[in-house]
Structure 1
Amino acid sequence: MAVSSRTPLLAFVSATTPTARAARASLEKRYGAVKPADADIIVALGGDGLMLQALHRNIKRQTPIYGMNLGTVGFLLNTYKETGLLQRLKRARQVTLTPLRMIAVNTRGKRHEVMAINEVSLLRSSRQTARIAVAVDGKKRLAELSCDGALVATPAGSTAYNLSAHGPILPLGAGLLALTPINAFRPRRWRGALLPRASKVELTILDPHKRPVAAAADSVEIPNVAKVTVTEATDIELTLLFDPEHDLEERILKEQFAP
């Protein structure tokens, strides 16, 4: 871990549930607490949604985050236990995540830049099928994708929405992004693509006024987009800490063999 041998300064953040709030109060009393801006390590208490929030809020500071699951799935978190936290932090393994940078231009020409740890997704906003042109690194790959939407997922996010849309699971070290259609109508047999992590994906909405589409970077949604560009934000590195027995890379590998 990239901290000194002294006892690390800890900041605790929690979900709004009574259980998570009570755990936070107990941990702060036991270990002491500082503000996230002053912490060596941030401890997140909740589910995967809370962890994504903590990662987004920490993008500028890039402080290591250790999560403990007090939510439902907890894919990005460790098992909750109040005692032995300092020893667990000392033994923890680092996993570095690089988010996606979404640049979305809406139908009025306004530009939005948002980061995504899991995926950037486009979804139709009306009963009519979305029509999307797909280009990769400036070369048009699909003149028209008729679908409910499409998404670009990171390896860390490949087991989330991407997997539900029948996209591939990507090991953390694969150096790939997943481009996955959501209920593709035409080309009917197109199931998506695996792209090098350095790829620039451009998704242009065809007839955006008649067939409106919204774009989302994790939980941040931009309505009525005309064009969305997705690249890896190589200038940002986010560090997650995992107990050796809950290593994220091993979890992602296990998902490929889940019954």
Structure 2
Amino acid sequence: MISWPFSSCTRNVALGSSSTTVPGNSRVSSLAIKILRCRARGCAASSRVALAPEAGNCKAWWTRARRRPTLGGLWGETPLAWDRIHFAASDAADAQAARRDLVRRYGQTPPADADVIVALGGDGFMLHTLHDTIHLKTPVYGMNRGTVGFLMNDYAEDGLRERLEAAEHYVIHPLKMRATTVHGLTTESLAINEVSLLRATYQASRLRILVDGKERLPMLICDGIIVATPAGSTAYNLSAHGPILPIEAEMMALTPVAAFRPRRWRGALLPRSAHVTIEVLDPAKRPVLAVADSTEVRQVATVEVAFHNAVEIELMFDNGHGLSERLLREQFS
């Protein structure tokens, strides 16, 4: 048994006889983290799970339980039934029609009370949904009603609760961008895919790159530079010929966009603990803008980027089609 304290209460979880190592950014860690997370959800929440005797009257919300061989037959308590679903849809006609059909069939729960949020649209809407609901710490399951749909599951109206029951869970951490403009104004924003710096005029940007306070490139002449997460490594980063990172990789990708000098520099792979600082050289003559997913800051002078380990985002994928498999498959496409 593992005893995990949450303020005045305790959750006990049986892990079997074998010891279990739980790495970061993996399917196993997703389950372990969510099981050992206590969230106040009111009296109704405690009636939907069977709590250990030591739990007392503490109210808790646990993620949907399902047996995983990697945890040695983990779950003995009564799992949630995914009966509280919130459906969110993009403005596209197909997404709106799907939302109406699904709400009619499964009902609609406010996002703050939902067991899961189902996003209907494309990858852009998925990112929008993740940003909008990040404070809720509720898992998000996407169904493709858009175009590319790398982060989405196939759309089907039938058997949704069964798909949620069998889904693979992944916990990812976003990047945190701190951008300071030439006027001294500071903007902080999270990026699930990437932080990018781009030239704002016809002239190439000139950037100085520091990692953990140490200068690594005194001058990079380029159209821009990208700092990408593993989850976002198949997006803009891949289009700029950056590497695809496995979701389990404890690193970030630093990828130039159309580098002119040094001409042969193709970027770097940095540990997830790295703190990247990018200084804009001559910003008055060669202005640069910074973008964290969809948050744009113009006339930046300095941009700092690092993983925000305190923020967790949980994604759900159909069994056998998880994020690890998608990233691996993309490398052979």
TM range (shorter): over 0.9
Could you tell me which runs of 5 or more consecutive residues in structure 2 were left unpaired when the two chains were aligned: 1-30, 32-62, 65-78
Residue matched to 2:159: 84
CA separation in 1, counterparts of 2:325 and 2:81?
Answer: 30
CA separation in 2, counterparts of 1:117 and 1:89?
Answer: 23
CA separation in 2, counterparts of 1:7 and 1:93?
Answer: 14
CA separation in 2, counterparts of 1:5 and 1:165?
Answer: 43
CA separation in 1, counterparts of 2:206 and 2:80?
Answer: 55
2:215 pairs, out of 131, 140, 143, with: 140
Q: In the TM superposition, what whole-angstrom CA distance separates every residue of 1:23-54 from its partner, at most 9, and x where no partner exists?
A: 10110010011111111100000000010000
Q: How far does residue 142 in structure 1 lie from its aligned partner after superposition?
A: 0.3
Could you tell me which runs of 5 or more consecutive residues in structure 1 were left unpaired when the two chains were aligned: none
CA separation in 2, counterparts of 1:241 and 1:234?
Answer: 19
CA separation in 1, counterparts of 2:130 and 2:198?
Answer: 24
Scaled by the length of structure 1, the TM-score of the pair is 0.98
Map 1:47-196; keep pairs closer than 5 Å. 47-196=122-271
**Does the CA-based 8 Å contact 1:10-1:34 persist in structure 2?**
yes
Q: How far does residue 100 in structure 1 lie from its aligned partner after superposition?
A: 0.3
Larger-gyration structure (1/2): 2
CA separation in 2, counterparts of 1:193 and 1:67?
Answer: 31
**Does the CA-based 8 Å contact 1:212-1:224 persist in structure 2?**
yes
Q: In the TM superposition, what whole-angstrom CA distance separates every residue of 1:207-235 from its partner, at most 9, and x where no partner exists?
A: 11110000000111101100000000100
SS in 2 for 1:191: coil
CA separation in 2, counterparts of 1:101 and 1:161?
Answer: 17
CA separation in 2, counterparts of 1:235 and 1:5?
Answer: 26
Q: In the TM superposition, what whole-angstrom CA distance separates every residue of 1:39-92 from its partner, at most 9, and x where no partner exists?
A: 110000000001000010111112100000011110001000001000000100
Q: Calculate percent identity across the aligned residue pairs.
A: 55
Task: Give the number of the structure with larger relative contact order, counting CA–CA contacts within 8 Å between residues 6 or more apart.
Answer: 1
Q: How far does residue 5 in structure 1 lie from its aligned partner after superposition?
A: 2.5
CA separation in 1, counterparts of 2:285 and 2:140?
Answer: 43
2:121 pairs, out of 32, 46, 56, with: 46
CA separation in 2, counterparts of 1:232 and 1:13?
Answer: 27
Q: How far does residue 7 in structure 1 lie from its aligned partner after superposition?
A: 3.8
Q: Which letter does structure 2 place at the counterpart of 1:39?
A: A
RMSD: 0.9
Higher mean alpha-carbon deviation, 239-248 vs 226-235, is at: 239-248
Q: In the TM superposition, what whole-angstrom CA distance separates every residue of 1:102-140 from its partner, at most 9, and x where no partner exists?
A: 000011000000000000000000111100000000100
CA separation in 2, counterparts of 1:212 and 1:188?
Answer: 21
Residue matched to 2:285: 210
Map 1:10-25; keep pairs closer than 5 Å. 10-25=85-100
Residue matched to 2:102: 27
Q: Which letter does structure 1 place at the counterpart of 2:288?
A: V
**Does the CA-based 8 Å contact 2:123-2:151 persist in structure 1?**
yes
- Number of aligned residues: 258
SS in 2 for 1:253: helix
**Does the CA-based 8 Å contact 1:104-1:112 persist in structure 2?**
yes
Residue matched to 2:311: 236
CA separation in 1, counterparts of 2:156 and 2:209?
Answer: 46
**Does the CA-based 8 Å contact 1:15-1:50 persist in structure 2?**
yes
**Does the CA-based 8 Å contact 2:273-2:307 persist in structure 1?**
yes
SS in 2 for 1:78: coil
**Does the CA-based 8 Å contact 2:82-2:164 persist in structure 1?**
no
Judging by fraction of residues, say which structure has more strand: 1
Q: Which letter does structure 2 place at the counterpart of 1:233?
A: H
**Does the CA-based 8 Å contact 1:62-1:239 persist in structure 2?**
yes
